[in-house]
Structure 1
Amino acid sequence: MMKLITKAKKGEYPEYAEMYMKLLSDDGLILKHLKDNFLMIKDFIYSLPEEKLLHRYEESKWSIKEILVHIIDDERIFSYRALRFARNEKLNLIGFDQDSYTIYSEADKRDLDNIFEEYEAVRNSTIALFNGLPEEAFDRMGHGTGTANDATVRALAYHIAGHELHHFNFIKENYL
């Protein structure tokens, strides 16, 4: 059984994360959403022809495979932040350079099955992490690079889900 996690409110996450939060419902079923969305995205991506997975809508933009690996990287990083904040870590975290991560991922050289094997493992780990946290952990605020990146553990769960939806919507709007 997956626990209910109430949606984060403004002030629990950085301003930029509002674009992710607005994509999600207030029903508290964020862990179910994460599980269901993984399956929906996997089905959708596998329905695309292979050449579409390497397509870039502009020369300097990421391919669909690169976007998928970016989603995985982001989820790993934000789950780690959630773990640190849940355990009441007091040290600030540094950010990450998503463009550098994407270049060095070499995602376009990877087989789609391999990408989704990693995606599923990370997703299952994320769900297990949030499902196993004590209730009081969700209200803990952690510190990223400067106070502009402070977030609660609850907000990070919603960030992960909203970030994924943001990119899924972007793929449908710009790559197809």
Structure 2
Amino acid sequence: MYFRKPQSDDYPAQFETYIKIAPEGDLNELLRAQEEEILALFRSCGEEQSMYRYQEGKWSVKEVLGHIMDTERIMSYRLLCASRGDKTPLPRHQDIFVSLTNFDRRPLADLIEEFQTVRSATRSLVTGLTEDELNRSGVIIQDKTTAAALVYFILGHAAHHLHIFQERYMSYLSKI
């Protein structure tokens, strides 16, 4: 389903960076194409390479994928709430999930499979939404956020991390 990019009054200001970089188009096709890109990129890494960090204190390859998954799960829940018209204020997503888990202990293949499951669930949710449901809004902190804005956030957030991954990880990983 093609759905226009949301306007700035459809989401909190902190979403702007991600929504701005997300392409506009058929939401299901965008999610599917991005899934293929993410899978190809992470499948190109071996288990040893998946432990690479481009700098001390930065995330490993596995942690990047884990962060993308965790954020998508949170935003998909928010998408569900908004599309159903739930106005219960939801708290801000704190970026603590990576630091409070250990994605590095898990095989990369398991994380890749889990990402596929998460993205499949997101795509199924989006596929079932009507235009009216995508226009509905929920509340994050104190800001109105439409369901469509949350789909574009998911796309933009993953695109942001893919860009960083290609810029800061792939130059090293391609040499191995």
Considering the TM-score relative to the shorter chain, is it more than 0.5?
A: yes
Q: How far off is 1:52 after superposition?
A: 2.9
Aligned to 1:8: 6
2:64–2:161 contact (8 Å) kept in structure 1: yes
2:130 matches 1:134: yes
Distance 2:111 2:153 in 1: 21
Distance 2:42 2:61 in 1: 9
Distance 2:27 2:167 in 1: 24
Distance 1:67 1:105 in 2: 12
CA RMSD of aligned residues (A): 1.5
Deviation beyond 4 Å, 4+ runs, structure 1:
none
2:83–2:129 contact (8 Å) kept in structure 1: yes
2:152 matches 1:165: no
Aligned to 2:169: 175
Distance 1:58 1:78 in 2: 28
2:101 matches 1:105: yes
Deviation string 1:75-127 (CA, Å, 9 cap, x unpaired) is 0110100111111112101123322x112331111111110111111111101
What is the SS of the residue equivalent to 1:60?
Answer: coil
Distance 2:108 2:61 in 1: 10
Distance 1:25 1:44 in 2: 19
Q: How far off is 1:62 after superposition?
A: 1.1
Which residues of structure 1 form unaligned runs of 5+? none
Aligned to 1:19: 17
Distance 1:49 1:123 in 2: 22
- Quick check: which one's strand share is greater? 2
Task: Give the one of 73, 92, 114 matched to 2:89.
Answer: 92
2:31 matches 1:30: no
Aligned to 1:120: 116
What is the SS of the residue equivalent to 2:3?
Answer: coil
2:150 matches 1:153: no
Task: Give the one of 57, 60, 69 matched to 1:60.
Answer: 57
